[in-house]
Structure 1
Amino acid sequence: MNQTTTREAVRGSGVASRNITKAAVIGSGVMGSGIAAHLANAGIPCLLLDIVPKDLTPEEEKAGLTLDHPKVRNRLAAKAVAALPKSSTAPLYRADFASRITPGNMEDHLSQLKEADWIIEVVTERLEIKKSILKTIEGVRKDGAIVSTNTSGISVNAMAEECGEEFRRHFLGTHFFNPPRHMKLLEIIPGFDTDPDITQFMVDFCTKRLGKGVVLAKDTPNFISNRIGTYGLLVTLQEMVRNSYSVEEVDAATGPVLGRPKSATFRTLDLVGIDTFVHVAKNVYDNVQDGHEKDVFTVPDVLNELVSRGWIGEKGGQGFYKKIKGDQGSTILSLNLSTMEYNPSAKISSASIEAAKAVKGAKRKIKAFLGTKDRYSELAWNVLKQVLVYSAEKLGEIADSIQEIDNAMKWGFNWELGPFETWDLIGLPESVQRMEAEGLTVPAWVKDWIAAGNKSFYQEKDGQVFHYLKGEYKAVDAEPERISLSALKAQNRVIRSNTGANLIDIGDDVALLEFTSPNNAIGADILVMIQQSVEEVRANYRGLVLANEGRNFCVGANLMLMLMEAQSGDWDEVDDIIRLFQGSMMKLKRLEKPVVAAPHRMTLGGGVEACLPADRIVFSAETYFGLVETGVGLIPAGGGCKELALMASSRYPDPGSDPQPEINRMFEMVAMAKTSTSGHEAVQMYGRGADTVVMNQDYRIYEAKQAVLELDRAGYVPPQPGKARVVGRDGRAVLQMGAIDMRRGGYISDHDLLIAKKLAHILTGGDVPAGTIVSEEHLLDLEREAFLSLLGEVKTQQRMQHMLAKGKPLRN
Structure 2
Amino acid sequence: MSKPIRKAAVIGSGVMGSGIAAHLANCGIECLLLDLVPKQLTVEETAKGLTLEHPAVRNRLAAGAIARLAKQKPAPLYDDSFAKRITPGNISDHLAQIAGVDWVIEVIVENQQAKQDLLAQIELHWKPGTFVTTNTSGISVNAMSAGCGEAFRRHFLGTHFFNPARYMKLLEFIPGEHTDPEVVAGLKQFCETRLGKTVVIAKDTPNFIANRIGTYGLLVTLQEMVDNGFRIEEVDAVTGPAMGRPKSATFRTLDLVGLDTFMHVANNVFTNVSDPQEKAVFDVPNVLKTMVERGWLGEKAGQGFYLKQKGADGGSVILSLDLAAMAYVPQRKVASVSLDAAKRAKGAGARTKALIEAGDKYSLLAWNILKKVLLYSADKVGEIAGSIHEIDEAMKWGFNWELGPFETWDAIGLAKSVERMEAEGDSVPAWVKAWIAEGHAAFYEKRDGGRFFVHDGQLRKLEMPPEAISLRELKEQGRVVRSNSGASLIDLGDGVACLEFHSPNNAIGADILHMIRQSTEAVRDGFDGLVIANQGKNFCVGANLVMLLMEAQDGEWDEIDGIIRLFQSTMYRLKRFEKPVVAAPHRMTLGGGVEACMPADQVIASAETYYGLVEVGVGLIPAGGGCKELALRASLSATHPEADIQPYVNRAFETIGLAKVSTSGHDAIRMGLMRPGDRVVTNPDHQIYEAKQAVLRLVQAGYEPEREEKFRVAGADGKSVLLTGAQAMRHGGYISEHDLKIAAKLAHVLAGGDVPAGTLVTEQYLLELEREAFLSLCGEPKTQQRMQHMLTKGKALRN
Q: TM-score range by the shorter chain?
A: over 0.9
Corresponding position: 1:375 with 2:361? yes
Distance 1:782 1:360 in 2: 42
Pick one of 215, 225, 230 that aligns with 1:230. 215
The code of the aligned residue for 2:153 comes to R
Aligned positions, number: 797
Distance 2:355 2:110 in 1: 40
- Deviation of 1:461 after TM superposition, in Å, equals 2.2
Over the aligned positions, Cα root-mean-square deviation in angstroms equals 0.8
- Deviation of 1:381 after TM superposition, in Å, equals 0.3
- Deviation of 1:463 after TM superposition, in Å, equals 3.8
Distance 1:447 1:775 in 2: 71
- Deviation of 1:367 after TM superposition, in Å, equals 2.1
Pick one of 262, 267, 280 that aligns with 1:277. 262
The code of the aligned residue for 1:235 comes to V
1:482-517 Cα deviation digits (max 9, x unpaired): 111011001100000001000000100111000010
Corresponding position: 1:746 with 2:719? no
- 1:592 and 1:717 in contact (8 A); partners too: yes
- Deviation of 1:88 after TM superposition, in Å, equals 1.1
Distance 1:62 1:199 in 2: 49
The code of the aligned residue for 2:614 comes to V
Q: Secondary structure at the match of 1:545?
A: strand
Which residue does the alignment assign to 1:131? 116
- 1:462 and 1:490 in contact (8 A); partners too: no
The code of the aligned residue for 1:138 comes to E
Pick one of 329, 341, 344 that aligns with 2:315. 329
Matches within 5 A, 1:157-176: 157-176=142-161
Which residue does the alignment assign to 2:24? 39
Corresponding position: 1:692 with 2:679? yes
1:644-702 Cα deviation digits (max 9, x unpaired): 11111112243311111011011100000001000111122225132000110010000
Matches within 5 A, 1:738-777: 738-777=725-764
- Deviation of 1:523 after TM superposition, in Å, equals 0.3
Distance 1:384 1:609 in 2: 44
Which residue does the alignment assign to 1:811? 798
Please list every run of 5 or more consecutive structure 1 residues that lacks an aligned counterpart in the other structure: 1-14
Matches within 5 A, 1:86-485: 86-326=71-311, 327-485=313-471
Distance 1:640 1:463 in 2: 41
Corresponding position: 1:712 with 2:710? no
The code of the aligned residue for 2:607 comes to A
- Deviation of 1:110 after TM superposition, in Å, equals 1.4
- Please report the TM-score for the alignment, with normalisation by the length of structure 1: 0.98
Which residue does the alignment assign to 1:785? 772
Q: Secondary structure at the match of 2:185?
A: helix
Distance 2:465 2:382 in 1: 24
- Deviation of 1:462 after TM superposition, in Å, equals 4.7
- 1:56 and 1:66 in contact (8 A); partners too: yes
- 2:350 and 2:411 in contact (8 A); partners too: no
Q: Secondary structure at the match of 2:70?
A: helix
Q: Cα distance 1:72–1:653, how it changes in 2: closer, same or farther (>3 A)?
A: closer
- 1:646 and 1:722 in contact (8 A); partners too: no
Which residue does the alignment assign to 1:727? 714
Pick one of 53, 58, 71 that aligns with 1:73. 58
Q: Secondary structure at the match of 1:637?
A: coil
Which residue does the alignment assign to 1:623? 609
Distance 1:653 1:39 in 2: 35
- 2:246 and 2:400 in contact (8 A); partners too: yes
- 2:22 and 2:77 in contact (8 A); partners too: yes
The code of the aligned residue for 1:801 comes to Q
Q: Secondary structure at the match of 2:125?
A: coil
- 2:349 and 2:412 in contact (8 A); partners too: no
1:14-59 Cα deviation digits (max 9, x unpaired): x4x2111100000000000000000000100000000000001111
The code of the aligned residue for 2:124 comes to G
- Deviation of 1:354 after TM superposition, in Å, equals 1.1
Which residue does the alignment assign to 1:84? 69
Distance 1:430 1:597 in 2: 45
The code of the aligned residue for 2:744 comes to K
- 1:582 and 1:637 in contact (8 A); partners too: yes
1:139-170 Cα deviation digits (max 9, x unpaired): 01111111000011000000000000011000
Distance 2:556 2:787 in 1: 17
The code of the aligned residue for 1:657 comes to A
Corresponding position: 1:681 with 2:693? no
Distance 2:272 2:715 in 1: 73
The code of the aligned residue for 2:45 comes to E
The code of the aligned residue for 2:379 comes to E
- 1:463 and 1:488 in contact (8 A); partners too: no
Corresponding position: 1:801 with 2:799? no
Please list every run of 5 or more consecutive structure 2 residues that lacks an aligned counterpart in the other structure: none
Pick one of 631, 636, 661 that aligns with 1:645. 631
- Deviation of 1:741 after TM superposition, in Å, equals 0.3
Distance 2:334 2:676 in 1: 52
Residue identity over aligned pairs, in percent, reads 67
Which residue does the alignment assign to 1:632? 618
Distance 2:248 2:332 in 1: 15
Distance 1:724 1:438 in 2: 75
- 2:613 and 2:622 in contact (8 A); partners too: yes
Which residue does the alignment assign to 2:7? 22
The code of the aligned residue for 1:714 comes to A
Q: Secondary structure at the match of 1:108?
A: helix
Which residue does the alignment assign to 1:507? 493
Which residue does the alignment assign to 2:564? 578
Distance 2:710 2:446 in 1: 51
- 2:24 and 2:31 in contact (8 A); partners too: yes
- 2:616 and 2:656 in contact (8 A); partners too: yes
- Deviation of 1:331 after TM superposition, in Å, equals 0.5
Corresponding position: 1:659 with 2:645? yes
- Deviation of 1:363 after TM superposition, in Å, equals 2.3
Distance 2:636 2:472 in 1: 40
